[in-house]
Chain A
């Protein structure tokens, strides 16, 4: 009997004590990891958002434009900077190869951040802090966020979206 030869006809042998111990241990590890998923969800401060809507590119871009018209405070290298009120819906548009507008949010306040793409698939990656979400065209993905530290954050695209992908960098500013 070996791994590369046919075993004897009856190989349905009982497990030895050591084998039983190992298999039971492995199952316990599996169950522990499984239950930890629920525990983390209950006590973790940051969970994956599940709120999603179907949206057309026009609808989403109009919603974003309305927000820009109402709450624009200045421009930064041609990209509008908006300061929407706390608790409001904010719209971040991804297109090859730009994030717009630049959002200026208040520390400790809660916002509903809408993400969608005008063309390809993009990846919303907030740095530093390292928070990553997929941004797809025709999907409005809503993340309820509460910035907990003031500063200037970079939004990089971490899903390949064409030859200018590495230049797709945006900004979120959190004020005190």
Chain B
């Protein structure tokens, strides 16, 4: 049979719709999967958020809301629901969006996408049931010899298998889109960033398998013992890179928000893509930050890893910290805005995506990134390890940074995917400010308390003799309350739009 060469494969018109606003060709099976994953993410966020406010008020000495047992149970569930289920479900939605919709392409094998979703959902539900039944009071990290019910590890493994499948599907979608010539030239920068996140994600999930499969076998009695030191190394090859997935995905979302809100274009694709490449090569070395005061690790190992090989991954972040504001400034000046800071004063501060972008960048960069690099220093880690400085750092990165950026993206993704008008646009305008200020206060309260020695993951510090920390711990309650209000507003907007939003062509 003679091979007919066509440049562009014929689109199956029944499977696609064209958005009149953006001109994007939306693959309908991809759209359904994006909505399913995003909705599941928001449900996990709500559950994790309710636990968050309860544990925050347990840390306030004057309140001590929960008894220790409940505190540890909900802290385990909070960490797992937020760091794993909320973020990864949302990222899978983001991957399908960046892989199919942004490339005007079809999502290959949507059936496998649904299988991935079912596996992840089953894992998330199973894990939550076991945690809330009190069979896994072991924290997110589950350090052996503390042992949880075997189904806890099994649930995590199910979820990871589903997530790995979703990443594979995204990669296949990009490759097929390229071979079917759905786009010309290179992939868009946002998709490029998501590919970086996916590459780090594959490494993360494989390390997760090496951590959790033996632990599962040990919990059912098939392995006699787990080495606590080796487990820590392998677990953090999963635990910290999982946050680097969030980092790469968040930066990709930043670029998307800059384009969606002020029409910013990357000033120089070469610089931005090179910065993403530095993440692939060096960011995972930072996992060693968790092991700095562990026995059995030599100085050279610590220096090489915790400095991300001479801070080259930090250089990547510093480049984004320049190139995104620069792109915004250039776009603003092209509109005829003049003056040294006119591009900022006349920026669309009432546009939820722009507010989310700026606040996310400020909290991530100035609170999260700086404390991460500082606390990753050898000597400082000696006075910071396992104090509240650690959660102070990662609430600024993962919540103030990633979560807020994802919230900002939702205000554009949701109308595009559901073809419904955003409900409560006025609330969406203020939501990033409320959520962001709450998280900033929370993170600063944690950092400040940690500097005074307050331990993390401790229900009650009255026996520890730490004095003068009541005021700083109150900030955790105050910030937590404000952030919780912001979270509730976000969820109400998302749910009402999905259920009651007016149909619109989008």
Chain A residues within CB distance 8 Å of chain B = 1-9, 11-13, 15-16, 18-19, 22-23, 26-27, 29-31, 33-34, 36-38, 40-41, 44, 46-48, 50, 52, 115, 119-121, 123, 125, 127-128, 130-134, 136-141, 154, 156-167, 169
Contacts and interface: CB of A to CB of B under 8 A. Distances in A.
Contacts of B139: 160
Interface in B413-467: 451-453, 455-461, 463-466
B377 A139 contact: no
Nearest to B67: A163
Interface string B124-155: 00000000000001110001011000000000
A132 B311 contact: no
Contacts of A133: 293, 382, 385
B378 interface: yes
B460 A166 contact: yes
23 contacts: A2-B264, A2-B266, A3-B190, A3-B264, A4-B188, A7-B189, A11-B270, A13-B269, A19-B267, A26-B315, A26-B318, A30-B310, A37-B377, A40-B379, A48-B382, A128-B453, A134-B294, A139-B228, A139-B229, A156-B455, A158-B457, A160-B139, A169-B464
Given A47-B378, A120-B145, A138 B227 contact: yes
B394 interface: no
Nearest to B298: A50
Nearest to A41: B378
A40 B302 CA distance: 14
B303 interface: yes
Closest 4 A/B residue pairs (Cβ): A30-B311, A158-B455, A11-B269, A141-B295
A3 B464 contact: no
Contact of B143 (A7, A12, A18, A159): A159
Interface residues of B, number: 85
Contacts of B378: 37, 40-41, 47-48
A164 B67 CA distance: 11
Interface of B: 68-69, 72, 102-103, 137-139, 143, 145-146, 183-190, 227-229, 232, 255-256, 258-260, 263-271, 292-299, 302-303, 306-307, 310-312, 314-315, 318-319, 322-323, 326-327, 373, 377-379, 381-387, 451-453, 455-461, 463-466
B228 A138 contact: yes
Contacts of A139: 228-229, 295-296
B457 A165 contact: yes
Contact of A166 (B271, B322, B458): B458
A9 B453 contact: no
